[in-house]
Structure 1
């Protein structure tokens, strides 16, 4: 099992609060989810609305085990919005959608338990 997926792994190396603040994690609503058959690992192409400050960004997400595209539309998710874009095949992934691994290492999305404004920042 990869260290990032191991729930029994020790905590990562300590960082200071300023380092944490550099990671911009925002809440957005998925407005489109489409299959991504060109990806090496099964994935979806997501369009996520982060509100007027950030706008709509796209993400490639390996979440095909637990989610169907139609059920993702309207769901709020957290994503890192200030990583550099990453080219995945012919698709440019602009944000990193966040989740946790289940017991088999498959992604379960990280979402709030109530509706919040798009663009809200994690603190």
Structure 2
């Protein structure tokens, strides 16, 4: 199974681990849809049934961000809107299922994971300058 915890994103404050993102899917059609997905790293694998949504309902799923995901939905046995996308870690995405094949959009980007490293580097450089230039004037 490519999605271990389908209800993880429905929590008010989900704890996503490394290489995970959430997709909130909204069915705006007047019929039920079945959503299928498969990662690119699985060569010639069958698509897996991710979820089935009744008319005007929504759900959220957790996806892995290590490999691009191929995803599509079917309604009344017709395949619609097949696309492939690489998702980013800890992002929150939205997908409105419509007749026009609307793309996945970013609802909420993740915090910058490299910001603490950048701050530590800037602090080190700042204190290094104080020590070096402090010795010159003393």
Q: Normalized against structure 2, the TM-score is what?
A: 0.24
Relative to its length, the structure with more strand (as a share) is 2
Relative to its length, the structure with more helix (as a share) is 2
Larger Cα-atom Rg: 2
